[in-house]
Structure 1
Amino acid sequence: ECVEYVKGLLGSMDDGRITVSPYDTAWVSLIADEDDGPRFPASLEWISRNQLPDGSWGDGAFFLAYDRLLNTLACVVALKFWNLHPRQVRKGASFIRDNMRKLEEAEPEHMTCGFELVFPSLLQRAQRLGIDGIPYDHPAVRSIFSVRDHKMKR
C-alpha cells in the first residue's frame, strides 16, 4: 500500500511543482495587510475548503501523526487568529485531542524536521488564542516540551 502511494506521488510530479502544504499555507494566512486584515485571504479559503472529514488537515491518503497534528494545529491557529469558521476550529481541536496520544506511538524517524521546536510554539500560540479542547497538558505534549527545552539549552 505504501509503495503504491509513493509510486503515485512520484508519477504525479510532472514539472516538479510541490503540493500545497497546510502548514505553510496556515503561516502565510497569518500575514496581515495594512488594514490589519488578512493579506492573503485565498490562503484562508484554501484552509476552509481542505479540512478532511476527520477534522484534520494533511494528506488524506497517508497518516503520519507528527505531520497530521502539526498541519492541523497550524490551520486551527490560523482560523482562530482571524476568528473564522469556529465549527472547523472546534473540529480540528477535537482531532488534535483525540489523536495526541498517537505521538507517543509514532516512530521517531517519522518526525517532521524541527517538530520538537515548532509544535510547542504553535501549542503556546493556540493557548494564548483561547482554543479550547486541545490537551495542552497531555503526557506527549510534556515530553515534546522537554525535548525542546533540552535542545534550546545547547
Structure 2
Amino acid sequence: MDIVNKLSEMQDTELALVIDRFMRRIHFGLQKRAPDFDRKAVGPGGGIVLMTLADMGCTSMHALTDRVARDKSQMTRTIRSLETKGLVKRENSQADGRVSLVSLTAEGHVVVGELMETVAEVVNEILEPISADEKQTLKKLFDRIDC
C-alpha cells in the first residue's frame, strides 16, 4: 500500500473518530438535560423512535424498524411503551391489513418538539466556538450526505 492510501485511510479514521466524539457529546448533553425535558420518560431509544417518526411521518412498523436498525421484537416493545404513554398510535393499513402503520399523536408531536429544541441547544453549545460561516458550511456538508 502506498503512502497516499495510508494517509487517506488515516484521515478517514480520524474523521470517523471526530464524528464519534461529536455524537457522544450530543448524547451526554441530552442525558444531562433529560430530567428537564423527558417528562414522559421515553429515554434515548424512545426519543430516537419519536424523532424518526417525525421525519418519516405515518409509516409501517417494518420501515421504521429498518430505519432505526432494531429487531422486530425490540421495536414492538418500544412502540407499545410509546403507545401506552399516548405518544404514538398504531393502526392496520387499509391497503393491507397485515401491515401495522405507526404515527405520532398530537402529544407525540409536542414531545418531539421539546426534544428537538433540546437537541438544538446541546448542538449549539458544542458548536459555539465556530463561526456562523463555518456552521453554515457544516450544515451544507451534512445536507449533502442526507443527514
**TM-score, shorter chain, exceeding 0.5:** no
The structure with more helix, counted as a fraction of residues:
2
Structure with larger RCO (C-alpha < 8 A, sep 6+): 2
The structure with more strand, counted as a fraction of residues:
2
